[in-house]
Amino acid sequence: MAVPKMKVSRARGRKRRTHYKLTLPAIVACPKCKEMKLAHHVCKLCGTYNGVQVLPLDEDKKA
């Protein structure tokens, strides 16, 4: 129900909005190539997941 803004204290209004915060994506270093990648995702640079080669290596990306 609508309540006039001036009738709600600053603390009460702010307490209601504590869960509207952005969270950073889980980024970890790839164990093989040390590139930063999303956790629980295949590494885009070397194509490995959990130490297993799952994607073919691109010729232009080989280091």
Give the residues lining the site for Zn ion (CB under 5 A).
Answer: 30, 32-33, 35, 43, 45-46
Least distance CB 11 / Zn ion (angstroms): 47
Work out whether strand 48-49 and strand 36-38 pair parallel, antiparallel, or are unpaired.
unpaired
Least distance CB 24 / Zn ion (angstroms): 20
As a whole number of angstroms, the distance between CA 63 and CA 48 comes to: 14
Residue nearer to Zn ion on the CB measure, 14 or 61:
61
Instruction: Determine the number of helices (DSSP H) and then strands (DSSP E) in the chain.
Output: 1, 4
Residue nearer to Zn ion on the CB measure, 12 or 53:
53
